[in-house]
Structures are given as structure tokens and as C-alpha cells.
Chains A and B, each alone.
Chain A
């Protein structure tokens, strides 16, 4: 009897211990069923940041390519005076280079505030002001008020305001803050888009609307945030809403009347995409009939994204319009098998007819939301001794691309930030050499993907200096975990299908101003920043490069060495693009302060950071943003 008793107690104790151990080792809820194979130990991270030929950190002393006075094509500024800024990127080629040189490396340290003006809006001040003659034009985020400021008056005085009163329902369908990326001046009018998918042209002298056209439909989730571009008699504008299953297009409006002349879609039949007999894609992967339909399952192309909310360029030499498209709609890649053309595609089009001349799809069957709506900077520079017409595209994918803009041939591509979803681009086929373990899928969490969905850079535009031959890129270093989940389509609501959590990338910094040599496709020098850089960049003839940080530092660096020359703290984080202009022969630098935008919205009070998946995952990348800055739209002007 005694033996049995002892045995019974032993069994009970062992069972109890076993239950405790089993309970402790049970996976918690929501554990992923299959981890990515890539090891995430410190070793692997160190490998990502180890110097290799195409990304040497802070290599001071390496010679810049040199001076290329003819790099910017003639006629790019469409006759604007050096002291004016009449287009979003200053000129057709989006160089964001100002020929003004009074503020230079010797005296920029003396820059001080000349004036500042509250815009009255608390959301993200993306975009840039325009200066035509002696008047500055400022467009605010929703409600998209246009204000004309007389720069000859002390401190600048508002002349008039145009209040368009766009539909407030559009506030709830703009994915990434209710921003506006600026206006364009043409034909005596200031033309810009309204959040509720309208485009308006306002007389630059009187402030009265000349025309106002509804182009898109907010009930389908469409909004307009991009800056238009005017070429000849056409106003070009792109739409937003790739997160709501909106079908992307670029529209051409008549400059005089505002009537919609044509829309070139990003998905659908060749007729819809305006691919005709004179279309020739350089690479076989982009050749075929009706790829905008056949590279999708069923009719997913109707919800296929490819929105065009970024920057449009025009080449006065080849007379081609360049822009690129966004993500293919739903973020869950398993819901849209196929190459998903023509999302994430660079298009060259005839501006009159809209017919596509060539196209290059950066990422086929996107699994990471790598919208490639970035600026396409058109420069003429020598490659192997021969001057070629180039197109430089610093990409969301982590690669900066240099194309021949006449044919679409990719001449060089290299990474400018830690990137692991692909290791290189095969220049012969135009395809990225992907790491299959970094492809995301439904029902699986794929971890440690670099760059994150916000990319190695987002919409914030780079600048080019013909005096150095360098492109100055405002970059991010953020990585992510990404899980595809089931998505439901309800018109006018998000069609997302992914759970994304972002966090800082390797190396201890989250942003970097990269000085990039587009010919050799390598970094010359850089300035690392704590926060991702979400402002645009300005390059001037004084060899100074200006940019701003998300916590409100407006900085000037030397264009050749990246040495910091000057900085000042402004009222709010900077997500806008600095410009240079002159009035009465005196040079000024203007920039918006006003945190916001996709990542900047984490600073807003109605965003909670205890959930790192908030705001499509950015809350995990900058959880400290609320402590570092606050909202408040202010226009700053600096001078010596």
C-alpha cells in the first residue's frame, strides 16, 4: 500500500509540473505560423550596415563628379526668372536647383528669420510656396486655402485669399493626412488640386477662380493631393487613393477651360492605359498586349491602384512627360496574383495625346507597398564619355535608379539605404534580384523587411545641383514586419489587407541626407539624422543644400562635403520643400513648418502610439515624435 501511495503522489506532482511547463511554453495568441528565414541577430544587422562599394558612409574627400553646367536641359524653367519659383520643382525637370548664389557656404551661417506667418492649419504642410514676380502663393492642406502674399511689404502682407471650401467628407478618405503638395503657375493663373478630387485655377492677380473642375469621385475613395504640372495648353494632375482600391490615372485638363481632355489609366486594357503602336518598353518583362488586364486575376485591375500622387516631370528636349505610379491596390499580395501592371511603373508619355512611349515597372507583384511615385529628375550628363539624356529616380525600394530617358534603359541602380528585399538589379533584364524570404504573404508575418512601406524615401523630393553633379536625397532607414490579411472591398473605405509594424532600421539612425552620384550610382557623403527625413531638399548655386527634420530643425549643408553649415529650430516639424527666391535683388529661403503627412501624423493628439500598427504601421517607427514636436503650420522665410 505504501508504495502505491508514494507512487500516486509522485505521479500527481509530475503531472502538475508538466502542466505548468506546458502552459509556460505555449505560444501566445497571434504568434506567426512561419517566421522569415532571415536571421535577425546583431550579426545580420551588422552585415547590412557594413560598408560596401555602393554605400560608403561619410566618405569625405571622395571627389564629387564635378560641374555640369548643361545638365539641366535648356528651357526647363520655361522662362522663369532666377528669383522666381513658378513650378513645384522650380523647373520642368524637378531639379529643385536655384540659380541664386548670394547665400553661399561662406555666409549661410548668418541666415536669420526674415518673416514668418501662421497658415492657420494644423495639418501637415507638405509642398512648397510659389513665387511669381514679387508675390508668393501659399496653398494650405485641407481646406486648401490659397493666399497671395505681397513680398514687397515689410514682413510680407497677405493680398487676398481664395477659399474653395472643398467637400469635408474628403478628410476621412485621405490616407496619409490631408496634405497638399503645391500649386503651379501658368497663363496668369495659380492652379492646384483640392482634396475632394477637384482642380481649380485662380487668377494670380485678383484671386478669383477662373475655372474649377471635378475630376475624381470621393465616393470611390478618390482624393487629390498632388501638385499639377502645366505643359503647353495642358494641366496634368494625378489622383490618390491606392489604399482604397482606387484605380489610378493621370488626367489632362485644358489650361484655359479646365475641361478634362483625357485620362491615362494605370490599369486596364491598352486603350485605357493609352498604350498604342508607338509604345516600346525597353525590357521584355514589360512587353505584351493588354498587360494592364492580363497581369491580374479576374477583374482585380479595376481596384488595382497605380495612383499617381507624386511628381510629374517634362523634358523640353524629347517632349516627353514622365511620372510613375503607386501600389497595386490591396496590400495583401495573395489577393491579386500576377505582375499587377501597370502599378509601380515609370511612364514616358506624349503630353498632347497621352500615348505612352515607354514604361518600366520597378516591382512586379508588389508585396510591400513600394509606391514609386517619386520625383524623376531629368538631367543630361556624360556616361562613359558620352553625354546622355538621363532620368534619375531615387526609389522607395531602397534603390536609386538612373535611366536613359529616351529609351527606358536602366543604366545604373544601387541601394542608398539598408535594403534586403532585393540585393541588386539585373541591368540586362531590368528585374530586381529578390530575396524570396522577404516576399510577404497572407496569413504569415514576414519580419525584418528593409525598407519599410514608407520606403527608403517617400514623396519628399530630392534636389540636383549641376555644380556638383549630385542628387541630394532625403532618405529613411526604417524596417518592418508585414502580414497579409483578408481584405474586404467597400467603396470609399480602405481596401488594405495588411498588418504592418515598422521600427528603426539598423545603424542607430532613422534618416539620412544622402549626396548621391547618379552616374556611378553610389553615395558620396551623407548626414545621419535621428528621425526619418520627410522634408524636400533645395540645392542652390551658392553650393548650399537645405533640408528640414521632423523635429523642426532647418539645416544647411555644404553641397560638396555634407558638412553642416547652419541650422535653426522652427516651430514644428518640417515636411515641406524649401525654395529660394529673390525680391529686389535680395535672396530668401522659404520653407513650411508644420508636422504631418503619413509618418508625421504620429505627432497628432488623436493618434495612439501604444499600438505600433497604428497609421499603417508608422507609429512603431517614430513613437517618440509626440515628445519631439507638435502641430502648427507656419511659413518661414530666411535671409542674410
Chain B
């Protein structure tokens, strides 16, 4: 028959085990959540040496880098700016399209990588896309680009239901 103190030690050991399990799982979860997945996604093309000009935008020139490339904390603000500047009016409430083309799908007239989307917003495009470069700070345009790249990913803020 175990003594009260034995039982006490036994209980204490169970308690410690339980806490260790909790701490271990929490750590595992935190590690998983912080796993910095690339919000932008997309594979890099294999490098090949081509002679002569290639169709499409130049990939050798230095292209603008998105300072918020990995940063999910700006998605909510990107969504707010998407509505504030009436992007949602032309491109749909959740960028599904309307007066302007859908930004949720994978087909892009002028390139779907971040630098190309930034260029389209900043420079404007034929057929009615206004040039926002002189109207919005670059910072805000990059946040909108980051939001657009988050569409149809689990990180899309205010996803459509």
C-alpha cells in the first residue's frame, strides 16, 4: 500500500509530465506557425542561356523588390487600401473581376510576379487601368501588391464566403 507521500510524489510526477507535454506541443505549434512560408509562392524558372531577345518583360534588368514580400502583417492594411482607392470597385469586392479583370486567377495580361503587378499599378495600363504612381506612395502600392498575392491563399484577409 502506497503512503500518502508516495502518492503525492506520483501525482507530482504526473503533473510535471502533463506540463512538459503542453510546453512541448506549444513550442511545436509556435515553430510551425512561424514557419515563414513564402506568401508570394511560385517557382523560379531554371536558368538557361538564350541568344537573342526573349518575348515578355526583361528579366535581366534589376527589378523592384517588394519590401513586404514575406510580411503577412501588412495584408490587412493592403486590403483596406484596396478598398480605399477603389481597386475593389473595378476589380471586384475580393478582386474577382468586373470592370477590370480578376486578380484572383492565375492569368495575367502583364505578368503576375510582384514586380510586374507593381509596375501595372504604378504605370497604368492600356484599356483603362489608371497610373497610380504619382498618386500613391510606393509603400502603399507594395502593400496592395502583397494583398493581391495573398488572394486564394489561406492568408487572404476577409476572404469571400
Contact = CB atoms under 8 A, between A and B. Distances in A.
Nearest to A612: B160
A173 B98 CA distance: 10
Contacts of B84: 488
B93 interface: yes
A553 B141 CA distance: 45
B126 interface: yes
B133 interface: no
B2 to A, nearest CB: 13
B89 interface: yes
A619 B4 contact: no
Contacts of A494: 86, 89-90, 99
Given A29-B158, A492-B130, A610-B104, A485 B83 contact: yes
A168 B130 CA distance: 12
B11 to A, nearest CB: 6
B101 A611 contact: no
Interface stretch (A310-318, A341-349, A600-608): A600-608
B86 A490 contact: yes
Contacts of B127: 168-169, 171-172
B97 A172 contact: no
**Do most interface residues of chain A lie in helix, strand or loop, or is the interface mixed?**
loop
A488 B98 CA distance: 18
B85 A488 contact: yes
A174 interface: yes
A615 B98 contact: yes
A255 interface: no
Given A172-B129, A615-B97, A488 B104 contact: no
A42 B89 CA distance: 34
A340 interface: no
Interface string B71-103: 000000000000111101110111111111110
A224 to B, nearest CB: 15
Contacts of A605: 107
Interface in A580-619: 601, 604-616, 619
B3 to A, nearest CB: 13
A119 to B, nearest CB: 19
B104 to A, nearest CB: 5
Contacts of A613: 92-94, 96, 160
Given A30-B161, A172-B127, A607 B96 contact: yes
A24 interface: no
> Which of B8, B85, B94, B160 counts the most A-chain CB atoms under 10 A from its CB?
B160
Nearest to B91: A614
A458 interface: no
Nearest to A494: B89
A606 to B, nearest CB: 4
B93 to A, nearest CB: 4
Contact of A614 (B83, B94, B107, B126): B94
Contacts of A5: 11
B97 A174 contact: no
Contacts of A243: 89
Nearest to A615: B98
Contacts of B93: 499, 611, 613-614
Interface in B36-79: none
Contact of B4 (A1, A485, A607): A1
B133 to A, nearest CB: 15
Contacts of B8: 1
B86 A609 contact: no
Nearest to A598: B98
A607 B99 CA distance: 9
A392 interface: no
B29 to A, nearest CB: 15
Contacts of B99: 172-176, 494
A561 interface: no
Contact of A611 (B11, B107, B160): B160
Contacts of A229: none
A243 B89 CA distance: 9
Interface in A149-175: 168-175
B128 interface: yes
Contacts of B97: 601, 604, 606-608, 614-615
B92 to A, nearest CB: 4
Contact of B96 (A168, A169, A611): A611
Interface in B108-145: 126-130
> Which of B97, B101, B107, B161 counts the most A-chain CB atoms under 10 A from its CB?
B97
A616 B98 contact: yes
B96 A615 contact: yes
Nearest to A5: B11
Nearest to B7: A2
A173 B127 CA distance: 9
Contacts of B85: 488, 490, 493
A236 interface: no
B45 to A, nearest CB: 24
Contact of A493 (B4, B130, B152): B130
A501 to B, nearest CB: 9
Nearest to B157: A29
Contacts of B88: 496
Interface in A19-40: 29-30
A619 B83 CA distance: 19
A495 B84 CA distance: 10
Contacts of A490: 85-86
Contacts of A619: 96
> Which of B86, B127, B158 counts the most A-chain CB atoms under 10 A from its CB?
B86
Contacts of A172: 90, 99-100, 127-130
A319 B11 CA distance: 99
B16 to A, nearest CB: 14
A609 B128 contact: no
A484 to B, nearest CB: 13
Nearest to B152: A610
Contacts of A611: 92-96, 104, 160
16 contacts: A1-B4, A30-B161, A168-B127, A172-B128, A493-B85, A493-B89, A493-B90, A493-B130, A494-B89, A605-B107, A607-B101, A608-B97, A608-B104, A610-B104, A610-B160, A611-B96
4 nearest A-B residue pairs (beta carbon): A172-B128, A494-B89, A614-B96, A611-B96
Given A172-B90, A488-B84, 19 more contacts: A169-B127, A169-B128, A243-B89, A488-B86, A493-B85, A493-B89, A494-B89, A494-B99, A601-B98, A604-B97, A607-B102, A610-B160, A611-B104, A612-B160, A614-B97, A614-B98, A615-B97, A616-B98, A619-B96
Interface of A: 1, 5, 29-30, 168-176, 243, 485-486, 488, 490, 492-496, 499, 601, 604-616, 619
Interface of B: 4, 8, 11, 83-86, 88-90, 92-102, 104-105, 107, 126-130, 152, 158, 160-161
